[in-house]
Amino acid sequence: MRSSTLVNGLDRAGMRAHLNAIGLISREFSQPFIGIVNSWNEMHPGHAHLQRLSQEVKNGVRMAGGVPFEFNTIAVCDGLAQGHVGMCFSLPSREIIADSIEVMVEAQRYDGLVFIGGCDKIVPGMLMALARLNLPAVFLPAGPMLPGRYQGRELAIYEVREAVGKVHKGEMTEEGLAELEEIICPSYGSCAMMGTANTMSCVAEGLGLALPGSSTTHAVFSRKLREAKQSGLEVVRLVQENIRPSEILTEKSFHNALRLSMALGGSSNLLLHIPAIAHEVGITLTADDIELISRSTPHLCDIKPSGRYVMKDLDEAGGVPAVMKELGNELLYLDAPTVNGRSWGEIVSTVANKNPQVIRTRDNAVHEHGSLAILKGNLAPEGAVVKQTAVAPSMRRHRGPARVFDSQEEAVETILAGRISPGDVLVIRYEGPKGGPGMRELLAVTSVLMGMGLGENTALITDGRFSGATRGPCVGHVAPEAAAGGLIAILQDGDMINIDIPGRELNVDLSMEVIKERFEKWSPKMPKVNSSYLSRYSRLVESVARGAVLKKEW
């Protein structure tokens, strides 16, 4: 075991003395050392409950004959970072999470790992570290929160943000908004919808890295405590049998996870995160790969923010295993292994779809194709992404004049002032990984668009990204971004933008002569944030088309 580096041999007396100081006895020196990577955070509803889960993981580790050691990593709450400069730090936190875990694990020589996390950048950051370190490991999803209930309807967090626009329009009172604020987040957990947090937890399960069913088990359910204990038991078995992530994270498992995401109606942010995780094990996944899978995967689950149901409904219907069962061996590699020692074929043979209204059959799909569409054209030669299942049929093809903004704040101010007309195409640039820096989620602007009644007649394109809560004709991840000299950098008000989702095209009506003339006068804008870390990040970050991973060389 790796931990023998710390405890075996006469010259390791100093290390053993340090371990004695924290209460270990000699018998434990021969047992597997298990790192419990916890993203517990007092200011984060998705992670405030993780100390109890960690305790149950440790109980499971000890039951199986291992020695648990808990340590923490950072956890940014995207819900708190929305709409201000703090969002510039969210995506870059993914790299810090992965790197900080690598530092601890390599320095302290754990034999196996359990990762506990549940929100937007924490899950992919942990999965990147899990793949990179290639030690026996289990991922434990922190679990969704219960939905809010207002006037007889079950709601998720994005609906309170959209309500702000309704207040501005006079369709809702400030008192009604205050009441909604009080009840919409009734428990700990990740937001009660198929946003980025729950998409990526489901991805972890689809990859085979989490216990079956665990990604939809809600944070406040006692079942989550039992899953925590079982995760501790499983990781010791994985160490004893020397089963590593490289045996689970294969091309088959990434194929399965992408199929699952498209069937669930997953967040557009998976276009950033799944390629980054695959990159850690030497597998290249491109936007074209994701487009190919999306085109051939039916959308089976009508989950908020674009659908009718909440995560609790998905869990009660059977969760990820039931979705995998509906996809079947025609679309999945059911021989792919999982951390509980069973293949997906063995798992789905024992489950049932308990609610075909929530998890549709393939012959009764919500949409024929998966949730994401990759658009290309002169505005996005490397690609752009839209959550096509969240776009009204009337907006799937749209041509309109550009209204150009160099930040989200400028766009929000203009929308709230009533200066956007139906048919306009909002263009928000310098929000990419380099130009933001940090590629902010633009949930503030998309929520206001929906709340102001512009969600089905106004389009938006950006080199930034969207929250998993975003719905409507919103095209993000435009690459190359403005700061890298993409065509989006020289757009002007009135330029005619053509969005064709069925045709997978994104173009602007500009001649080569005009493009050349504008670029001769162009120079990139300075980043919005003066930050030591973000300055380094901006220099090292790759294109969003490659998962916004960091270059290994300066």
- Only one residue has tokens 């440790």, namely 58
Please report, in angstroms and rounded to a whole number, the separation of the first and last CA atoms in the chain.
35
The pLDDT of residue 455 is 82
Average pLDDT, the chain: 95
The binding site for Mg(2+) comprises: 78, 120-121, 441
Domain edges within the chain: 31-146+187-363, 372-546
Tokens found for residue 255: 């194929």
Q: CA-based Rg of the chain, rounded to a whole angstrom?
A: 23
> CA-to-CA distance for 86 and 89, rounded, in angstroms?
6
Cis peptide before 473 (omega within 30 of 0): no
Q: What is the fold of 372-546? A: Glucose Oxidase; domain 1 (3.50.30)
Instruction: Report percent pLDDT > 90 for the chain.
Output: 88
Tell me the C-alpha to C-alpha distance, in Å, between residue 379 and each of 249, 315, 483: 34, 40, 14
31-146+187-363 and 372-546 in the same fold? no
For 292-306, the DSSP string reads HHHHTS-B-B-BTTT
Segment 423-445 shows an average pLDDT of 93
The pLDDT of residue 537 is 95
> CA-to-CA distance for 28 and 423, rounded, in angstroms?
68
Single pTM value for the model: 0.95
Digit-coded pLDDT (tens) for 473-519: 899 999 999 999 999 999 999 999 999 999 999 999 999 999 999 99
Single-letter residue type at 91? L
Q: Is the pLDDT of residue 554 over 60?
A: no
Digit-coded pLDDT (tens) for 156-193: 998 998 888 889 889 999 999 999 999 999 999 999 99
**Cα angle, residue 314 at apex, residues 311 and 318 outer, rounded to 5°:** 140
Digit-coded pLDDT (tens) for 3-45: 999 999 999 999 999 999 999 999 999 999 999 999 999 999 9
Residues with a known catalytic role: 467
Digit-coded pLDDT (tens) for 225-243: 999 999 999 999 999 999 9
Q: Is the pLDDT of residue 469 over 70?
A: no
Digit-coded pLDDT (tens) for 254-272: 999 999 999 999 999 999 9
Digit-coded pLDDT (tens) for 266-324: 999 999 999 999 999 999 999 999 999 999 999 999 999 989 999 999 999 999 999 99
The pLDDT of residue 488 is 98
Q: Tell me, letter by letter, the H, E, C secondary structure of 1-58.
A: CCCHHHHCCHHHHHHHHHHHHCCCCHHHHHCCEEEEEECCCCCCCCCCCHHHHHHHHH
The pLDDT of residue 133 is 98
The binding site comprises: 78, 120-121, 441
Out of 3.30.479.10, 3.40.50.2300, 3.40.50.1220, 1.20.1290.10, the CATH code matching 31-146+187-363 is 3.40.50.2300
